Amino acid sequence: MGKISTIETLLEAGVLGIIRVDDDESLLQISEALRSGGVHCLEITLTTPGALRAIEAVVGRWEDVVMGAGTVLDGSTARQAILAGAQFLVTPTVELDVIEVAHRYGVPVIAGAMTPTEILGAWEAGSDLVKVFPAGFLGPEYLKAIHGPLPQIPLVPTGGVTSETAGSFVRAGAAIVSAGSWLVDADGARAKAFDDVTERARLLVGEVTAARGEIRT
């Protein structure tokens, strides 16, 4: 899958599921649970032990899953993630060397930012989409205020997104909503409560689909 088709797939899906757990024992099972719930765009944070192995395993297992690496902090790590099969990269802040490596290898990058200046700076530096973090703290009204003067920038609210807030973020202008701890609860992962992960995935996808339908009508 090329860079343009990856971006198109992310935008069409509208939901990005973040996997951040304490160990790598259940990464494949969590990925499968999210996939079963309709979340086919996944991000495994590199703070998770065994993240690169899991990325490689998921990419080789399901053709309908787009797998990215999250919490990429430098160019060297970005290259490792891409070589492991990561189809997109996500950073918590504007990391110019990560953007440079992503461009070199033809991989989309979603750089994290908060203020209008940071968001525009990330976009002008070459970020293909911009992660707005922490979205739960900032709220949908903040995203709406940013989207107004910067409609050309695909915004990805991240941090604190749930099924209850996802629709509001979409209506405020989010290109994609990205959910982590609400979607994949660390305690639930340790307890192997994978059915709960699937159900939350279904709820999230349903809310985003409904909100997009409202916008179109």
Which residues are part of the catalytic machinery? Answer: 43, 131
- CA angle 116/205/199 to nearest 5° reads 125
| Alpha-helix runs per DSSP H in the chain | 3-13, 27-36, 51-61, 75-83, 96-105, 116-124, 135-138, 140-147, 163-171, 186-190, 194-216
CA atoms of 193 and 196, how far apart (whole Å):
6
Q: Give the position of tokens 């995935």.
A: 201
Q: How many CB atoms lie within 10 A of CB 118?
A: 16
